[in-house]
Structure 1
C-alpha cells in the first residue's frame, strides 16, 4: 500500500533529469546503482546517435521496475525525435504486458532516446534494468518501393550506406540516383526512319534533354507521323510543366506536346527538323515514337514537244527526278542548234527544271 503525505505535491516534484549522450556503435545502459535498488525521484535520459545509414537495435536482458497503471509511477520510455515507441514498467515474471520481455526495438532512423524515471517512493524493492544497444545496417536497397525507388536502375548496399548504378547506355545523374541518357547528338540523314524516346514503350529516362535532328538536302521536306501510343507526363491545369516534346522546322515551331493525345501527322515543309524532348526527375510514363518520310519539292508538269515524247510521263515530278525527252521516228532532238538522240532534264531544289524542253526536228533524209 502506497503512503501519501500532506506534502504530496512536493514529493512528486522531480528535478530536471540527467542527459547522457552516447555515440558509440554499441553499448550497455543500466539504471543508477544497478544491480542494487535504483533511487527515487530520479530521471536519466540516454540519447543514442549512430552514423547515417544505420539504425539502433535496443533490447533488455533484465527488467524490474515498479508496476503501475499505464506506467504512471516508474517507467522506461523509448522514443525518437517525433514519437514514443514504447513505455515499459513492471516485472518480467508478473506483468508481461507492460514489461519488454524479449521484445527488440529498432529505431526508424539513426537516433533513439531511452529515459528512465522513478517517482518519490517504491512499495517494494526494484533493481531497475540492464539494456543493450547496437548499430545495425540499413539495407536501403531492400526497402525501396515502386513509388519511391532508391535507385532508378541498380541499387548496391554496403555497411552504412548504398550506391546506385545504371544500365549500359545510361549515365548517373548528379543526384547519384537518377539514370539519364546522353541523347543530344542524334543525327538522321536517311530519307526515312523511326525515332522514339529511350526504352519506348517502357518508361523513358528521367532528368534528360534529348535532341534529335533530321537533316536532308534542300529540296526535300520532312513529314512526321506519331504513333497513337503517346504518353508524356502532364498536368491537369498547367500546359506541360514537367516533361514535353517540341519540334522546330525552319521558322516554324510545334508544341510543346504532352499527355496521351498523339500529335498525329505533321508536315513540316522543311528539310531540317529538330525534335527536343525534356524530362524532369520524376514520373513513369511510356514515351513516344514517330516515323518520318521525305518528299521532294514539286516541279511543274511537263508537256512533250511536238513529234516527241517524255519518259517517264505523264507523272508528278519532285526534287531530283529526271525526265528524258526523245522524238518520234524521223525526228531528232534539237538543242542549241545541236541534233541529238535524246535530252535529259532534272527537277531542282527550288522547284524548277534544269533546262527547257527542246524541239523535235524532222531529220534530213539526204544526210541520214
Structure 2
C-alpha cells in the first residue's frame, strides 16, 4: 500500500512538472503536440490560450491527429474550450461510438478566446505521433450572427473587419448607445382649429429612447377637445403605472395621465386653448403607438334677438367665439347706432363670451314717413 501511494505521488509530481501554459495573441499560428512528429511523452499536459481582438473569432483545424484510444477519452486527449463551454474533446485515431477525432472539421469559437489542452497519461502501449494544428482569426459578421437582440441595430447594420456600426433611416438620429434610432420631435406646433397628431411612424412601431412634444396653441377663447382612435398600443407594466412608455397631457393648470397600455383614453375636453402633449419611450419595445384628432370650439355668446323691424343674418340657435352676425332693417327703416344711421351693422362674439356691441334699433326714415302720410290722405 505504501508503495502504491508513493507511486501515485511520483506520478502527480511528474505531471505537475511537465504541465505548462502557452499564451498566443497572434492572428494566426501553428500548434503541435510535444515532440511532434515523434511520439509525445507520457504524463504531459500543455495548454494553449489563444486570444484575438474583439470582433474576431478563432478557427482551429487539424492537419494530423494520432492519440491513444480510450473510452470517452479518459487517457490521452485534446480538449478545446472557451471560458465557459467545452467545444470538443478528441482522442484516438478514428471516430467511434465513444471516441471522436477532428477529421476535416474545423472548430469555431463563439468569441475571441479559445483554450486547447493536450493531456497524456502515465503510459502508452504503442507509439502515437500526436497532432499538428493551425488556427486563424476570422472576422465576426455581427450584423447576421449577433445573438443578443438588445445589442443589435435598430435600423441598419454595417459590418467591417473587426467590428460593425449602426445607422438610421432618414429623419432619425443615432442615440448615444450607437445602436438605437430615435427621433427629434420636440418642436411640433399646431395652430389650426382641427388636426391629427400621431406617434412617429404610426401605425408602425414608434422609435425608442425618444421624447416627443406636441403643442396645440390657439387663440384664447377656444377650448380644445381630444379624441384618441381605437388603435392604441403603448408599452405598459402589469403592476406599475406606465413605467416605460407613456403619454402625458397638460392643459392650462390641469395635468392628465400618464396613459399607456392597449385601451385608449376616452374623449378629453381640456377647457383650454393651449395643450401640451408629451410622449416618452424607453430603449426597448415594439409597440405601435397612437393617433388622436383634436378640434376646437369657441366660448359661447348669448342668443341674439333681432330688433323690431329688423333681422339678423345668420340667425342661429347658438353662437360662439369668432362668429359674426349682420343686423339690417326692413324697407323704410335704417339701423341707428349712437345717433348714426346706417344700412347694416355687424357684431362679433368675443373670447370672453360677450358680444362686441349691443343690438342697434331700426328707425323709420323721414322720406318714408312722409310717403306714408300722403298715402293716408289720398285714401281719405
Q: Return the TM-score normalized by structure 1.
A: 0.95
In structure 1, how many angstroms separate the alpha carbons of the residues matched to 2:287 and 2:151?
Answer: 15
Aligned to 2:200: 198
In structure 2, how many angstroms separate the alpha carbons of the residues matched to 1:345 and 1:236?
Answer: 56
In structure 2, how many angstroms separate the alpha carbons of the residues matched to 1:15 and 1:9?
Answer: 12
Alignment of 1:349-368 (within 5 A): 349-365=351-367
In structure 1, how many angstroms separate the alpha carbons of the residues matched to 2:100 and 2:200?
Answer: 57
Post-superposition offset of 1:93: 8.2
CA RMSD of aligned residues (A): 2.0
Q: Deviations over 1:240-283 (max 9, x none)?
A: 00000111111111111100001132111111111100000000
SS in structure 2 of the partner of residue 142 of structure 1: helix
| Alignment partner of 1:240 is 2:242 | yes
Aligned to 2:311: 309
Alignment of 1:142-221 (within 5 A): 142-144=144-146, 148=150, 150-221=152-223
Aligned to 1:10: 9
Which of the residues 334, 337, 360 maps onto 2:339? 337
Aligned to 2:376: none
The alpha-carbon distance between structure 1 residues 208 and 342, as it changes in their structure 2 partners (threshold 3 A), is same
| Alignment partner of 1:271 is 2:270 | no
Which of the residues 322, 325, 329 maps onto 2:324? 322
SS in structure 1 of the partner of residue 29 of structure 2: strand
Q: Deviations over 1:2-57 (max 9, x none)?
A: xx978542354120621110000000001111111111111110000000011001
Aligned to 1:226: 228
In structure 2, how many angstroms separate the alpha carbons of the residues matched to 1:306 and 1:356?
Answer: 14
Which of the residues 85, 88, 91 maps onto 1:86? 88
Post-superposition offset of 1:65: 1.0
Q: Deviations over 1:162-195 (max 9, x none)?
A: 1111000000001110000000011111111111
Q: Deviations over 1:279-324 (max 9, x none)?
A: 0000000000111111111111111122221111133111111111
Aligned to 2:378: none
CA contact 2:72–2:99 (8 Å) conserved in 1:
no
CA contact 2:70–2:99 (8 Å) conserved in 1:
no
In structure 2, how many angstroms separate the alpha carbons of the residues matched to 1:185 and 1:9?
Answer: 80
The alpha-carbon distance between structure 1 residues 367 and 281, as it changes in their structure 2 partners (threshold 3 A), is farther
SS in structure 2 of the partner of residue 37 of structure 1: coil
In structure 2, how many angstroms separate the alpha carbons of the residues matched to 1:51 and 1:120?
Answer: 37
CA contact 2:91–2:99 (8 Å) conserved in 1:
no
Aligned to 1:112: 114
The alpha-carbon distance between structure 1 residues 176 and 94, as it changes in their structure 2 partners (threshold 3 A), is closer
Aligned to 2:124: 122
Post-superposition offset of 1:363: 2.3
Aligned to 2:33: 31
Aligned to 1:138: 140
SS in structure 2 of the partner of residue 245 of structure 1: strand
CA contact 1:12–1:119 (8 Å) conserved in 2:
no
Structure having the higher Rg:
2
In structure 2, how many angstroms separate the alpha carbons of the residues matched to 1:245 and 1:94?
Answer: 64
In structure 2, how many angstroms separate the alpha carbons of the residues matched to 1:94 and 1:62?
Answer: 17
Post-superposition offset of 1:140: 0.8
Post-superposition offset of 1:142: 1.1
Structure 1 or 2: more helix by fraction: 2
CA contact 2:71–2:99 (8 Å) conserved in 1:
no
Further displaced range: 167-176 or 89-98: 89-98
Post-superposition offset of 1:146: 10
Post-superposition offset of 1:84: 1.2
The alpha-carbon distance between structure 1 residues 95 and 300, as it changes in their structure 2 partners (threshold 3 A), is closer
CA contact 1:305–1:357 (8 Å) conserved in 2:
yes
Q: Return the TM-score normalized by structure 2.
A: 0.92
In structure 2, how many angstroms separate the alpha carbons of the residues matched to 1:94 and 1:320?
Answer: 93
CA contact 2:213–2:276 (8 Å) conserved in 1:
yes
In structure 2, how many angstroms separate the alpha carbons of the residues matched to 1:284 and 1:347?
Answer: 48
CA contact 1:227–1:288 (8 Å) conserved in 2:
yes
The alpha-carbon distance between structure 1 residues 94 and 363, as it changes in their structure 2 partners (threshold 3 A), is closer
